[in-house]
Amino acid sequence: MQARELFDESSLIRAAQHGDHEAFASLIRLYDQNVLRIAMNLLRSPDEARDVYQEAFLRVYRNLHSFRFDCRFDTWLYRIATNICLDHLRKRKVRKEESAVVETRGGALNLLESVEEHRADNNPQRRLLASELRQRINRALAGLTPRERIVFELRHYQGLRLRAIGEALGTTEEAAKNCLFRATQKMRAALGDHA
Amino acid sequence: MNTNLKCEDCQELLVLEAYGELSVEQKETVEAHVAACVGCHEERTALARLHAAVDVAAIEPSLELLSACRQDLYREVAEISAATRAMPFWRRMLPEGGFWSMAAKPAMAMALFAAGFAGARLVPASGTPGGPAAGATMSAVRNVRYIEPSADGKVRIVYDEVRQRELTGRVDDQGVREMLLTATRDPEDPGLRVDSMEVLRRRVEHEDVRTALVRALETDGNEGVRLKALEALKPFAGHPAVRTALTRVLVADKSATVRTQTIDLLVNTRRDEPELAGVLQELMRREENSYIRQRSQTALKAMNASLETF
C-alpha cells in the first residue's frame, strides 16, 4: 500500500471513530469485497459468507473506537473476519465432503453455478473437465484443517504475505509457513494426477 | 551459498518459492539444488501444476451478493445508531454504545465518575458561585483532587478542569507553530500526529520542523506516523542531518515498509557517499527483506562499490 493511501485510510478511520457514517461506509467499501471473497472461498456458502460479512463489519463498527493504529487496519479487519470464518468452520460438525450444492435462504443452490465464470468456454467437454476438477479441488480444500484452509486461502487466493497472515491469525510467520506447507502437501496428495 | 541442501528442505522451500516468499539467498540455494536434482525439479513442476489447477476453483462472489451484504450492514448500522441516540447520555458513553472519540475516553470516564458522584452529593450550581453547573460542565471535570464534607451536610470538592480552547492563525505564527510541533509528539492520538505533520511539511525548510519530523521518523511507535514523517522530509533528503537520520532508520526501523521507502529515498538522491556504501554493505549482510537487498545491491554496483565488507 502506498503512503498516500495509508493516510487517506487513517483519515477515514479517524472520521469514522468520531461517528462519521459516510467515512465508515467509505472505509468498508475499501475492503468489503475482499472480506466477502475470503468468506465465500472458505465457507463455499453464500448465506454463511453473508453472515460472516455482517458479523465482521458490525464488530468493526462496535470496536472501531478501540483501534489505535498499532497495526494496519486491514490486518485488524482480516483478523476479525478470519476468526469468524474459523468459528463457522469449526461449527460444522459433519464435514465428510463439501457438496457444491448448499441450502440457502432461497432454496438449494449450486455454488459452482452461482460463481461468476471468468473463462467462458463453449467446449462442453472442457467445461465438464473443469467442473470435475473444481469439485475435486473443493473436496481437497474441505480436507484441510480450518487453520490450514485459511492460510491457504489468504496466501493463494488473496495474495497476502505470510507475515501478514501470521499477524491476522495472531501467530508467527513461521507457523503460517508450516501451515501453508502442510496445506500444499495435502492438496497435492488429494488431487493426485489431476494437478 | 549452501549447496548441501537436503531434498526435503528444498521441497519446503519450493512451496514458499511458488509464492515469492524466499529471500535472494534462499532462492539461489534452491536454484543450485534444483539444477542438480531431478526429483526436486519434478517437484517444482508439480507445484506449478497444482497452482494452475487450484486457481480454477477460486470463487468470485457476485455483485448482487455484495450489494445485498452492504444493504444488510447499512440497515443494521442505522438501527444501532438510532438506538444509540435514543439512549440516555451516560449509556451512550459506554464503548458498546457505538463510536466515540478515543481521545475523549479518559475525560469521559472521569466525567462519568464525577457525574455519578455529583448526582448524589453536589449542591446545585446556584448555591456555589464559581462552581460547576452540574451536568452542563461535567465533561470538563478531569480529576477530583479532594473532598471535604462539612457539618451542615454540604460537601466541598476540589477538582481539575479541562477546557477546550481554539487557536486560529497562520502556520508561521509562533503560537500556532509551537502548538503544531507539540501535536507531533501527542502521546495519545497517532492521527493528530499525522495531521500536524501534514500541515508542517510545508515548512520543512525550518530547522525546528525538520527536527520534529526527524524525531518522529526515528522514534514514533506508529508505522503510519513514521511514513508520514518520511514523506514530509523527502524534499530535504539531501540535508546532512536528515540523511544521517535516514541511514539510521534504514538499518534500525522494524517496519519493512518504512525501510523500503527509506532506501528508495536514499538511493534516488545519492551522491558520492562512502558512508552510504558502508550502510548498504551492512544491509547486504543482515537485511531480510529481498527488495531492500536487491535495491542495495543495485545501488552498490552503480557506486562501483563491493557488495560486502571485508
CATH number at residue A48: 1.10.1740.10
Reduced to 3 states (helix: H, G, I; strand: E, B; else coil), residue A108 is: strand
pLDDT at A109 over 70: no
Q: Which of A6, A133, A137 sits opposite B224 (nearest CB)?
A: A6
The predicted model gives A10-32 an average pLDDT of: 88
Rounded to a whole number, what is the distance in Å from the CA of B300 to chain A's nearest CA? 26
What count of residues does chain B have? 310
CB pairs under 8 A between A and B: 158
Structure confidence at residue B229 (pLDDT)? 94
B147, containing H or E segment: strand B141-149
Is B250 within 8 Å of B237 (Cβ atoms)?
A: no
Residue A172 placed within a domain? no
Residue A111 placed within a domain? no
Is A35 within 8 Å of A81 (Cβ atoms)?
A: yes
Owner of C-alpha cell 486461502:
A153
In this structure, how many other beta carbons lie within 10 angstroms of the beta carbon of residue B231?
20
Residues of B in contact with A137 (CB under 8 A): 53-54, 56-57
- Give the count of domains, chain A: 1
Reduced to 3 states (helix: H, G, I; strand: E, B; else coil), residue B112 is: helix
ipTM computed for the complex: 0.77
Which structural domain range is residue A14 located in? Answer: 1-95
Rounded to a whole number, what is the distance in Å from the CA of A125 to chain B's nearest CA? 16
Identity of the residue numbered B245: A
Cross-chain residue pair A116–B68, CB shorter than 8 Å = no
Residue A156 placed within a domain? no
Structure confidence at residue B286 (pLDDT)? 79
Rounded to a whole number, what is the distance in Å from the CA of A119 to chain B's nearest CA? 9
Task: Return the CATH class of domain B174-302.
Answer: mainly alpha
Residue A21 placed within a domain? yes
pLDDT at A95 over 50: no
What count of residues does chain A have? 195
Closest residue in A to B74 (Cα) is A25
Residue A171 placed within a domain? no
Is A58 within 8 Å of B73 (Cβ atoms)?
A: yes
Kindly give the pairing relationship between strand A101-104 and strand B155-161. unpaired
The predicted model gives A112-138 an average pLDDT of: 59
Question: Phi first, then psi: what are they for A170, rounded to 5°?
Answer: 70, 30
Cross-chain residue pair B16–A49, CB shorter than 8 Å = no
Structure confidence at residue B102 (pLDDT)? 34
Instruction: Render each residue's pLDDT in chain B as its tens digit; 310 residues.
Output: 445 789 989 999 999 998 888 888 899 999 999 999 999 999 999 888 888 888 777 788 888 888 889 888 988 888 887 776 655 443 443 333 333 333 333 333 333 333 333 333 333 333 344 444 444 345 456 667 777 777 788 888 777 776 667 888 898 888 899 999 999 998 877 878 888 998 999 899 999 999 999 999 999 988 888 999 999 999 999 898 999 999 999 988 988 888 888 988 988 887 767 778 888 888 888 787 888 888 888 888 888 777 765 4
Cross-chain residue pair A138–B57, CB shorter than 8 Å = yes
Cross-chain residue pair B261–A3, CB shorter than 8 Å = yes
Rounded to a whole number, what is the distance in Å from the CA of B52 to chain A's nearest CA? 8
- Residue A187 to residue B11: CA distance in whole angstroms: 15
Cross-chain residue pair A194–B80, CB shorter than 8 Å = no
Q: What residue ranges do the domains of chain B occupy?
A: 7-55, 63-97, 105-161, 174-302
Least confident of A12-21, A29-38, A78-87, B266-275: B266-275
Rg (C-alpha) for chain B, rounded Å, is 30
